[in-house]
């Protein structure tokens, strides 16, 4: 019970700290008498960072638990670059693209990349390190191909190059249904999977004798985590490491691995981190050097975190 109260406390503080600045922004801009379009733009932008943070953090939690692997998120497993490649390929091939087609292509591309990573990792021992190595290979492949395609795509769609590192500069009303869809997907995933993922973390035999089908749960987890993250990529580009950092931080704060508690806290942390990063890079950094994509800032924070995890993995344990 104690941990639930603690969770509630942390969650509400985080919720307040993300929602209050938005309200503040809204009120201040109204007072400044700015045109409505700017106000709406800022609101969308704030909303999307929060939703995207929620989705990517949950996707990371689900992937880590279902694959029993602390070193992964959608970016490390190649889903991010696979989805981006699919987006560029669609922009190149089709004359008339809608966000709907782009999202669908991203989901297919992201899932395919994830499947390739898992297949290769399982064929080379299936250890947590095998997943990282296989993921790096797949990520490099699709990143490289994406950059190649970008030469042709960016002449027609200027904003496409921004998607290499995720940015919210293109926040518009049209993004809302897809971003919401991804958010609903991860919330559903949380409700359906959280308890089963707990059991899966104890090993396949243990899960099976408790009545949880490991293969089915892993398949469902990969689809939910892969599709939701890919949709975010299709709207705002690749934001790496957020899904890696937030589950670990949530587990550390809660002193438990229980996904029923870890996932909600990771959601709150993810949205807070992304919103803060985006707001700072838009307001503070932009004054000095121009706007920096939020995805790049998150990577700059997340990659060292990943390296620390890697070193601790080889020094033995995560204690």
Give min distance, CB of 251 to other proteins, in A. 5
Q: Which two three-digit tokens encode residue 66? A: 């279902």
Sole binder of other proteins in the list 29, 54, 69, 81 (CB under 8 A): 69
Question: How many H helices and E strands in the chain?
Answer: 12, 0
Name which of 21 and 126 has its Cβ closer to other proteins: 126
Q: Which of residues 226-265 bind other proteins (CB under 8 A)?
A: 251-252, 255-258, 260
Task: Name which position in 41, 115, 128, 169 contacts other proteins (CB under 8 A).
Answer: 128
From candidates 102, 182, 212, 274, binder to other proteins by CB under 8 A: 212
Task: Please report how many Cα atoms fall inside a 13 Å half-sphere around the Cα of residue 77, on the Cβ side.
Answer: 36
Neighbours of 95 (CB within 10 A): 6
Q: Does 68 bind other proteins (CB under 8 A)?
A: yes
Minimum distance of other proteins from residue 199's CB (angstroms): 5
Pair of tokens at residue 247 = 């589950």
Residue number, 196 or 282, with CB nearest to other proteins: 196
- The runs of H, that is alpha helices, within 67-127 are 79-93, 99-123
**Mutual orientation of helices 294-315 and 128-156 as an angle, nearest 10°?**
160
Q: Closer CB to other proteins, residue 52 or residue 121?
A: 121
Who contacts 178 (Cβ-Cβ below 8 Å, separation ≥6)? 99, 100, 103, 231, 234, 235
Nearer to other proteins, 106 or 269 (CB): 269
The alpha carbon dihedral of 79, 85, 87, 93 has a sign of negative
Q: Name which of residues 148 to 207 contact other proteins (CB under 8 A).
A: 191, 194-195, 198-199, 201-203, 205-206
Residues near other proteins (CB under 8 A), total:
33
Least separation in angstroms between residue 202's CB and other proteins is 6
**Does residue 73 touch other proteins according to CB under 8 A?**
no
Work out the number of other CB atoms within 10 angstroms of the CB of residue 72: 26
Between 152 and 318, name the residue whose CB sits nearer to other proteins.
Answer: 318
How many Å apart are CA 113 and CA 178, to the nearest integer? 21
CA 274 – CA 218 distance, rounded (Å): 27
Q: Which is nearer to other proteins, 37 or 255 (CB)?
A: 255
- Residues contributing to the site for other proteins (CB under 8 A): 4, 64-65, 68-70, 128, 191, 194-195, 198-199, 201-203, 205-206, 208-212, 251-252, 255-258, 260, 313, 317-319
């Amino acid at each position: 019970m104690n941990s639930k109260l603690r969770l509630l406390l942390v969650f509400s503080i985080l919720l307040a700290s993300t929602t209050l600045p938005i309200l503040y922004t809204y009120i201040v801009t109204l007072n400044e008498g700015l045109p409505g379009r700017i106000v709406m733009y800022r609101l969308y932008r704030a909303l999307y960072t929060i939703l995207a943070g929620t989705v990517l953090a949950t996707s990371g939690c689900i992937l880590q638990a279902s694959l029993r692997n602390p070193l992964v998120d959608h970016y490390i497993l190649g889903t991010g670059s696979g989805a981006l490649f699919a987006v560029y390929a669609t922009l190149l091939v089709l004359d008339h693209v809608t966000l709907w087609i782009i999202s669908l292509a991203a989901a297919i591309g992201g899932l395919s990349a994830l499947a390739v990573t898992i297949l290769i990792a399982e064929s080379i021992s299936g250890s947590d390190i095998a997943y990282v190595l296989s993921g790096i290979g797949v990520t490099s492949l699709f990143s490289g191909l994406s950059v190649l395609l970008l030469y042709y795509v960016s002449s027609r769609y200027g904003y496409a190059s921004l998607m290499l590192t995720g940015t919210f500069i293109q926040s518009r009303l049209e993004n809302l249904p897809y971003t919401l869809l991804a958010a609903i997907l991860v919330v559903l995933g949380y409700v359906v999977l959280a308890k089963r993922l707990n059991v899966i973390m104890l090993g396949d035999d243990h899960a099976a004798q408790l009545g949880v089908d490991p293969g089915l749960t892993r398949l469902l987890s990969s689809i939910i985590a892969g599709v939701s993250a890919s949709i975010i990529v299709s709207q705002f580009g690749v934001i790496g490491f957020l899904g890696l950092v937030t589950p670990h931080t949530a587990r550390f704060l809660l002193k438990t691995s229980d996904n029923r508690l870890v996932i909600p806290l990771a959601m709150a942390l993810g949205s807070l981190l992304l919103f803060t990063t985006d707001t700072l890079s838009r307001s503070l950094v932009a004054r000095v050097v121009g706007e920096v994509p939020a995805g790049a800032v998150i990577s700059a924070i997340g990659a060292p975190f990943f390296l620390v995890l890697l070193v601790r993995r080889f020094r033995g344990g995560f204690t």
